[in-house]
Chain A
Amino acid sequence: MPVDPMIVNPTLGPFRKMLAEVKGKGLSGPDVDQMAAVLGRMETLAQQMGDVTAYMGQLTQENSFQQFSDAYSRVLAGAARAAAKDMSDEELLAQTLGAYEKALQTHRSGQAGDAAAHTIPTLERILALGRSGVSYPVFLRQVEEQGLMRALSGSAGATREALEKDLAFAKESWFPVRVEQAERILAAYDQLVAEAPFGQPDPLSLELARKRIEWELEPLHRRWTAVVDRWSHVLELLVDWLDAHTSFAPGDERWCPPDGNPAKAEHNIRRTKECAPGDVGYRLAILGEYFQLGFDDIFTHETFRTEYTARRVHWSDARLALIRETFPHCVLGGVAPAALVARAEQLHPHGDVRPDAGKAPPWGTPLATPFG
């Protein structure tokens, strides 16, 4: 069975279009033949193979996309060379501006994607320079001196505007390591601008700075999320253990199976009551072994205070207080005190979670904790 046309058509569509364009211009030769041969092979494989991943894997192994693109580039470059050979400077300028005008129209129409939209002001400046009446070499020099070529090549996320967006996103997301990363990359960008002869940062220098910063901070980000995941799990276990003692437990989806079988629900509740203390002990041992944190340390740890301030700790303050008070009772063979169970029943469900959960305050809000 052939690969689904819903996959094949969007994949091969651009290649079919490029071949048709080349043939439409009356171009021919071995490179055009190779484009046709590679596309033919891709079409044949699509008919022969049923599995999409296997199909894409085969195309990758055969390097089909690259082979086609290389041949296409050769065809276009050959045509351009032939046309440019005897061109005057005026004709070269007109041809160059025509190409930029075409790119601008594509970018304005949104066909080139969001990232390309950042290049619109640069393209407009290039076109304005070219149409200002200067000669071709003066146009080339001004484009170079105004850093417009570098600005264009920096369209893939390396403009200041894009880096500022990265920083704003990191702040909105309240990931401190990501904020530090975005701030350091932006600072590197500004430093390179200050050093650049024409006010645009050297793309290679920026690339290297960025790689180094990301490399340095990746372990910190991984560690941060790992700590959060581990203490979150401890809190969830304590909530479950106390709630398993409440009157609402038999009907709660944490224990009640889809078929509503009360015996199964009872079994599940008993499991939580009897096993959660051991599980909490195991998880706290992990927290201690990995990060040298005990139960009380959770609430003063930077990760907790950050998550709490960002309103990603979705429990209400009353529920968090209950979690802390539950902990000493959650021991093997232990039973939740009636007073705590009553408070859990009172809070459930609307008082369990904070009303503003998930609505992060502005970045920079002082870190808070529910326990003073």
Chain B
Amino acid sequence: MDQRHQEYLAYYEARLRNVAGNPLYPHTEAAERALCDALRSAPTLEAFRERLEREKLEVACAVARVRDQATARAALYDELEEPVRAGPEKAVLALLDSRAFTDVQSLTEAVGAIEGEWRQRIAADETLIEELWSDWKILEDVEECEQAIVPHAWHPERLERAARERRTGAEHHHQVTLPETRKFIPDYQPDYQALWQVRHRRKMPLADPIVQRRIACHRRYRGID
């Protein structure tokens, strides 16, 4: 093994050391190890380069890294009960299981396409909870107008204010929120039932009866009920 050959081997061994023994990178470690072994056993650098190209060893390293990353992220999101955020990671894993890649560019593009598609799905999934939480105080204002104990003389004015708020909320929902959101996500529909799933419920850190009441208030405020 000449000096240049040894220098290349030292480089690939350094790459291997970066992932060796790290439980997040089983596939990457195997692929990097295979690359090192190929270089170590090659009679010449030229022979190694031919094998590298023939067996697509660098592509295998890239695929392995993408697989390990997606596996780790999917596992975390599963543990955190975030199935929608786990979606793109699982889609990437399904892609790697169903398609063999022969160049890194195709891999990057395919993964990028999945991430792009899921960014919209994630945004759609999280739209309602963010809107509800930001509208929460308005819902209290409306309830205050209707339920606070005040002299009877003020009831008509306060009830009219509550009704006005609701009209504004419904108009905004139907004329702004829905059309604007559907420009990006054509089939968007707010799913109030999904708010009880962990990923959304945890963003409303209040007791269940309160959340239940506010969800009902929000549907009325949006003119859905």
| Interface, chain A (partner B; CB < 8 A) | 53-54, 56-58, 60-61, 63, 66, 69-70, 73-74, 77, 89, 135, 137-138, 140-141, 144-145, 197-198, 202, 204-205, 207-208, 211-212, 215, 218-220, 222-223, 226, 229, 271, 274-275, 277-279, 281-283, 286, 289-290, 332-333
Contacts and interface: CB of A to CB of B under 8 A. Distances in A.
B7 A229 contact: no
25 contacts: A61-B183, A63-B113, A66-B112, A74-B105, A141-B7, A198-B17, A202-B18, A205-B22, A208-B72, A212-B76, A212-B80, A218-B203, A219-B205, A222-B205, A223-B205, A274-B150, A274-B154, A275-B150, A275-B154, A278-B149, A279-B148, A281-B148, A289-B207, A332-B149, A332-B151
Interface size bucket, B side?
35 or more
A208 B73 contact: yes
Contacts of A220: 205
Q: Is the interface of B mostly helix, strand, loop or mixed?
A: helix
Interface in B136-187: 136-137, 140, 143-144, 147-151, 153-154, 157-158, 180, 183-184, 186
Interface in B1-58: 4, 7-8, 10-11, 14-15, 17-18, 20, 22, 24
A77 B62 CA distance: 16
B108 interface: yes
B196 interface: no
A69 B15 CA distance: 29
Nearest to B8: A137
Interface of B: 4, 7-8, 10-11, 14-15, 17-18, 20, 22, 24, 68-69, 72-73, 76, 80, 82, 105, 108-109, 112-113, 116, 120, 133, 136-137, 140, 143-144, 147-151, 153-154, 157-158, 180, 183-184, 186, 202-207, 210
Given A138-B10, A290-B206, 18 more contacts: A66-B113, A137-B4, A138-B11, A140-B11, A141-B7, A141-B11, A197-B20, A198-B17, A204-B24, A215-B80, A219-B202, A219-B205, A226-B206, A229-B137, A275-B158, A278-B150, A282-B147, A290-B210
B24 A58 contact: no
B147 A53 contact: no
Nearest to B80: A215
A131 B140 CA distance: 66
A73 B106 CA distance: 10
Contacts of A202: 18, 22, 24
A59 B157 CA distance: 47
B21 to A, nearest CB: 9
Contacts of A207: 73
Nearest to B24: A204
B149 A144 contact: no
A204 B150 contact: no
Given A219-B202, A222-B133, A138 B7 contact: yes
B24 A61 contact: no
